[in-house]
Amino acid sequence: MSRVGVGIVGAGNISTQYLENLTKFADVEVRMVADVLLDRARAQAEKYGVASSGTVEELLARDDIEIVVNLTIPAVHAEVGHQIVAAGKHVWSEKPIATDHSSAAALLAAAEAKGLRVACAPDTVLGAGIQSALRAIARGDIGEPLTATTMFHVPGPEAWHPDPDFLYATGAGPLFDMGPYYVTTLVHALGAASRVQAVSSKSLEKRTIASGPRAGATFPVEVPTHHAALIQFRGGQSAQSTFSFQHALPRAGFVEINGTTGTIVLPDPNVFDGDSTLWRYGQEEPETVPATGSTWGRGTGVVELARAIREGRPERASGAVALHVLDVLLAVRDAAESGTAVDVATTVDAPPPLAEDFDPAASTF
């Protein structure tokens, strides 16, 4: 079988991480970079040795591109996804898959009707760190999983980001910007969620940029900057999760899962590596669960999707998982706004862990 042709739509900052890896993976070949800013697309294509650049329309018209990587802004993820599907191509989308349930569901339905796949970031969950922890849970190292705790606590990205306004705008905030990493990990470990209760708060109505050319400028805060949620899962498990841009004491990257015979602390779900720590009842000292597998980075999910297409099996970072994760995050938002519990209507099976020898850079075709 031939290499899977890939096109990139959106040549912004995140495209650098994708191109850095995708241009090195044997099973895929990046054949074009497209952007509304043609100079930006051309610069990225030239930098990473991609043969062609141009408009989105030109990319979608090519017969040698099977998967289109959608790196546009979240507000148009679903719109661009529909264009990709209409052109007869599979979709890999940056997170979130859409900003509302109906748009995401409609995209998945359109793809299914044409026999196409929609997959979605984060693919950090496919990295050696999280996958090694998932394999430990699957083989019974903590017994039956019962509860989880996740925390993402930081002061706020305006401390380092030169243009942080969009991270405090409607559809963003810590819930939708960072929540996908944590909730995706929980779904892979515990399965589908069923109900959510939550509270939220906003510490400041305006924030001040601390670095870069706009340092000292203020901007409005449109969304809550702290969400605390209790998530119930269909298998009977529960998770306490907080997502915050209003903590002076940072606690980013904390994921802990407790079972009947032990507790495991996972690595940061926003990275691809990192060991886990395992405590068992009756043992005085914890064990280290070393990260075994791929730590290549973003683009890993694109290769796993390409192999799934060639092998005729489901992809792990599926659109169904992404839709369910989105629905959980929307339920957190709605539960906090309403003060009542919110049911999660969608469901999904937890994807099986990857084999230890999974290597996105290997040639398998």
Measured in whole angstroms, how far is the alpha carbon of residue 20 from the centre of its chain? 18
pLDDT, one tens digit per residue, over 266-287 is 999 999 999 999 999 999 999 9
Amino acid in position 288: T
CA distance 54 to 39: 9
For the residues of 77-125, what is the DSSP string, one character each? Answer: HHHHHHHHHHTT-EEEEPSPS-SSHHHHHHHHHHHHHTT--EEES--GG
Mean local confidence (pLDDT), 179-200: 98
State the sign of the Cα–Cα–Cα–Cα dihedral 201, 205, 211, 213. positive
Beta carbons within 8 Å of 175's beta carbon, 6+ residues apart: 223, 224, 227, 243, 329, 332, 333
Mean local confidence (pLDDT), 136-162: 96
Contact 10, 71 (CB under 8 A): yes
The residue ranges of DSSP E strands in 223-268, in sequence order, are 226-233, 238-244, 251-259, 262-266
Contact 176, 330 (CB under 8 A): no
pLDDT, one tens digit per residue, over 36-48 is 999 999 999 999 9
**pLDDT number for residue 163:** 86
Token pair in block for residue 306: 């390409």
Q: What is the DSSP letter of 158?
A: G
Domains present along the chain, CATH in parentheses? 4-120 (3.40.50.720), 127-291+326-343 (3.30.360.10)
Closest CA to 134 of 349, 291, 279, 308: 291
**pLDDT number for residue 1:** 65
Q: In the structure, what pLDDT confidence band is assigned to residue 75 with cuts at 50, 70 and 90?
A: confident
Mean local confidence (pLDDT), 116-126: 98
Residue 170 has pLDDT above 80, yes or no: yes
Contact 140, 191 (CB under 8 A): no
End-to-end CA gap in the chain: 5
Closest CA to 20 of 10, 32, 30: 30
The residue ranges of DSSP E strands in 62-130, in sequence order, are 67-70, 90-93, 118-120
With tokens 């898959």, the residue in question is 97
pLDDT, one tens digit per residue, over 337-356 is 999 999 999 999 999 999 99
Please work out, in degrees rounded to the nearest 5, the angle formed at the alpha carbon of residue 313 by the alpha carbons of 307 and 315: 65
CA distance 145 to 30: 40
Token pair in block for residue 288: 């280290």
Across all residues in the chain, what is the average pLDDT? 97
CA distance 38 to 328: 37
Mean local confidence (pLDDT), 49-75: 96
**pLDDT number for residue 364:** 95
pLDDT, one tens digit per residue, over 12-21 is 989 999 999 9
Beta carbons within 8 Å of 345's beta carbon, 6+ residues apart: 327
Amino acid in position 51: A
Mean local confidence (pLDDT), 29-33: 98
